[in-house]
A and B are shown apart, each in its own frame.
Chain A
Amino acid sequence: MVDAFVGLFSTTAIFYLLFGACLGLVVGILPALGGAAGLSLLIPFIYGMEPSAAMAMVIGMLATVTTGDTITSVLLGIPGSASSQATILDGFPMAKSGQGARALSAGFLSSVMGGLLGAAVLTLTLQVARQIILLFGVPEILMMILFGVASVAALSGRSLAKGVAICAFGMIVASIGYAPATGEERLTFGMFYFADGLPLIACVIGVFVVPEIVDLVRQNRSVSDRPVMGSGTLQGMRDVLANKWLVVRSAGVGCLVGAMPGVGGAVVDWIVYGQTVRSAKDKSRFGQGDVRGVIGVESSNNAVLGGALVPTLLFGVPGSGSTALLLSALIMLGVQPGPSMLGADINLTYSMIWSLAIANIVGAGLCFLLARHLAKITMIPFVWIAPFLIVAISFATLQVNRDPRDLLLVLVFGAVGVFMRRFGFSRPAFLIGFVLQGNLERSFYQTSQLYDLWGFISRPIVLLLAVVVATVLINSLRKQLSTTVRFDTPEHEASLMATRPLQLLMPVMLAAVFGGALWILKDLQPLGRTFPEIVAGIGLVAALIAAVQILRKVPSSMEDQEQEGTEYPVSMLRVGGWLAAAMALLIAFGFFAGSALFLALFLGIEARARIWQIAAGIIGIVGLYLVLMFYSGTFLPDGWVLSLNPWTYF
């Protein structure tokens, strides 16, 4: 172990580690670009490198993505990567009220503590981790996933019926594609494009990012209307120390969920957020800027990697998208993960753990240095930021499948997301359904094939997890039923009544989707349709309940963000038009020429920018992505109309 540490510092490995850490920060800060995307940029680079140096770089990159992404999530309300979406819930309101520096420093300190705890857990359990993982068979995995699904109850917002309906909608959307049990094409409308299922990134960007961009552009102001307070940094650190048990617990959950292949590391942040809210005594400030929301989430998402490395290294079974690529990278370097990682290759294992720890410290250190300056971004009018964000999310989308049609999917999910945000349909609940559906269906189906009922319930860990899930559900339900929602004022009530027909639109459309799905599914084999049929059935009931509640004017079911007193000087159509124009330009002319055109048009018309400003903006962001692509030797799709991608010419 000490050898590995010395080895890391006495060779060039430490430089690769630092390079990886810096790249990870950039990838983390760039909106919606996460560890998996960053790693696919690095993989062409590492071929033929010495394994410990290459892994130092890879781990360095993965470890700091979840630190850097905090910055974007807190300051702009847009996830820097998929693992810090829940940070937005409390981090962004803090930034809006001028407490950006405090939220950031709390986030960074929790990140580094979570990351270090993850590395420590990995070290301490390394020798017994194989046995622990082998205790978790398919039934236990099933229960772990149900634990994740149960957090929907806490994340539903005011109306449980809406939360359940939208979670079921997420699951139905995710069940598009090959049915795992029977291999049939399901809900694809005969289109091969849908056969692989819808890409997660397009869904995340559409549902979480697009509505925020739309909202901020429509408000036509800067994120924060108050000057940034410089003293927040120390306060944020004190907040973390005051909540040290929250840090430890969240990191533990992050580690455990990360370590179980097929549970869903992608939604750890939401699971932990739900848990943080549930366990807090005073819940009133959550969602409006409670620093505990930031601390819980940020300590968990950095701990995930430590946990996820366990099955990747010891079994050669990746637990997430980014560790799947890490596994490929190892094989590429000539290292076959497996039990030998504890024997002949133990030094490489320890060197990876050291890299994890060091990268976390370096990443958080750099972030602390940057934070105060970056926080000023909240003072810039949003109209100057929005076009760059749109370019950035397009890049993140294209990077995954290199398929321009995914951009259209972003628009569709974006429209759904705008409705969800406006009418109080929990977007986290949707995401949990979308992400967990695949593993839930697989483990449900495999458990039913491999175990009978007695075999299932006689497993101690299953029983334990069943008790946990039941407790979580009962607590959340009791809370939901005991709190009566009332309208704030008679005027508020009147304004909500006025848009009641519009509010009915979502539940009615959802009910139609569920009904349609049930109708299409009936032609499939029983094993291919049972699970989505159950989901669509539950969704249909929940959507109808929500509709009836709105008809009967039940206060908890009535919600319309547009009636909350925010001023929207820019029309919805105008912003939507810009988004559609951006996607059309990107599809027609390829990423680079398309985004340059879009930036020029948007900055010129909406921000009334001068020519040199437009040029600087284009060179800045398009250049950044061009450099990323050029040095990694990767490509983006050509345009459909005219290919203006630079590599055609050099």
Chain B
Amino acid sequence: MKLTKLLLAGVGAIGLALPVAAQDLGLSRINVTVPFGEGGGSDTLVRAIAPFLQPALTGEPTILIRNEPGGGGIPSTNRFVKNAARDGSDLISLSSSIFVASALSNPQIHFKLDGFIPVFVAPLGGVTYISPSTGATEPGDVAGIGDTTVIYGGGRQDSSDALTVMQFDLLGINVQSIWGVERGGSRIGFERGEFTVDQQTSLAFNSSVQPLVDAGTAIPFMTSGLRTADGEVLRDPIYPDLPTFLEVYEKVHGAPLSGPAYRAYTALSVAALTAGKTIALPKDTPQTVVDAYTAAFDTVIANPEFKDATKASLGGYPLLTGDAAQAAFANGGEMDDEAFAWLQDWYRTKLNFDLKR
């Protein structure tokens, strides 16, 4: 057993030592399904990758990007799982909204997350910030907020926006959530003083919230952290001075978050952030094809030009391929019955929203 591992490692090392060879799939055309419209996050990612992926595959196959918007990406993803070819000619670009819908057991979803083999994952990070009017004075200052009710504006209850409400609620802070806020509306509402907490991706935070922080009208409060392959949550590498939610929780309650609440929170945050933007093959794709794509994506992310081109759209977080990508996927979405029951109850009591399973 050990010997095999050693041998495999040796083979791997030789493979690494050889000049990077383009990966041969014997395909002249690759279809990438984007279950959203042009210009969305998933679409942008695929279009950024395509020109780098093409030369990393032998024969430089044509990469066709096929947008299938509608229904929050669910109908198109359902179709992909059912119909996609298993020879590597069909890829799909998935986004956190699909993973969250899957974690919340949206009845329209006809697949399980193990229906995909992720070959590339770009995790997302987010910064939660708070208005000084709540009484908070510094990052993680739960005591300063006290009994004040914080107000959060989100898009839809069954989206990743619920995660922010859940975090504040788990910290024991009174949070009023107002729904149906349009894209970007929560940030502008925060500036107008209508909302007192908000969460943004690192990019939007740096460009639009940092000036408020400098002016003293916003305080960065915490991040969701970055999950490693073995499940540990580390501080966000872009904001090493900000505590993670789990750190703040432990400080407030004296013990780490645990039990079904922890498992539900983890599943949801993996879906919303860790698995962020993913490119996947359908299940049952032969291992040789998966390996070929893993190597091809390794070539892509090692390319300094690619890093430059995507710094703005991917936020500069470490990109994952192969086993690391599949590890990031684990824990994502699927919840045990006890954790889901906890989540159902939380949704019902705090958001007045019925999760069906």
User: Interface of A with B (CB < 8 Å)?
Assistant: 39-40, 43-44, 47-48, 133-134, 137-138, 178, 180-183, 192-193, 195-196, 261-262, 311, 315-318, 324-325, 328-329, 331-340, 400-403, 441-442, 445-446, 449-450, 525, 633-635, 637, 647
Contact = CB atoms under 8 A, between A and B. Distances in A.
Given A196-B71, A450-B178, A647-B64, A138 B189 contact: yes
Given A44-B65, A192-B108, A183 B156 contact: yes
Given A401-B70, A635-B67, A47 B208 contact: no
8 pairs of A and B residues whose beta carbons are closest in the complex: A180-B180, A328-B39, A317-B184, A334-B312, A338-B207, A338-B208, A183-B157, A336-B207
Given A261-B182, A332-B44, A446-B181, A196 B188 contact: no
B40 interface: yes
Which among B68, B188, B351 has the greatest number of chain A C-beta atoms within 10 A? Answer: B188
Contacts of B309: 48, 334
Contact of A525 (B151, B180, B352): B352
Interface of B: 37-40, 43-44, 47-48, 51, 64-72, 74-75, 108, 151, 153, 156-158, 176, 178-185, 187-189, 191-192, 194, 203-204, 206-208, 211, 309, 311-313, 351-353
A328 B37 CA distance: 11
B178 to A, nearest CB: 5
29 contacts: A47-B47, A133-B188, A180-B179, A180-B180, A181-B180, A182-B353, A196-B70, A261-B182, A261-B188, A262-B185, A316-B187, A316-B207, A316-B208, A317-B182, A317-B183, A324-B183, A331-B44, A331-B313, A332-B39, A332-B48, A334-B309, A336-B204, A338-B207, A339-B211, A402-B67, A402-B68, A445-B180, A446-B194, A634-B38
Contact of B151 (A262, A324, A337, A450): A450
B71 A317 contact: no
A55 to B, nearest CB: 14
A130 to B, nearest CB: 9
- A133, A329, A441, A633 pick with most chain B CB within 10 angstroms: A633
Given A183-B157, A332-B47, A403-B70, A315 B187 contact: yes
A183 B183 contact: no
B352 A182 contact: yes
Given A332-B313, A338-B204, A633-B65, A48 B51 contact: yes
A138 B64 contact: no
A118 to B, nearest CB: 21
Interface-centre pick from B44, B108, B191 (highest chain A CB count, 10 A): B44
A44 B185 CA distance: 27
Which of A178, A180, A332, A634 has the most chain B CB atoms closer than 10 A to its own CB?
Answer: A332
Contacts of B313: 331-332, 334
A336 B179 contact: no
Contact of A43 (B38, B48, B74, B352): B38
Contacts of B67: 402, 634-635
Nearest to A337: B207
B48 A47 contact: yes
Contacts of B188: 133-134, 261, 311, 315, 317
A47 B68 CA distance: 19
Contact of A329 (B39, B74, B184, B352): B39
Nearest to A328: B39
A325 B38 contact: yes
B310 to A, nearest CB: 9
A134 B203 CA distance: 22
A338 B176 CA distance: 27
Contacts of A261: 182, 184-185, 188
B193 to A, nearest CB: 8
Nearest to B76: A402
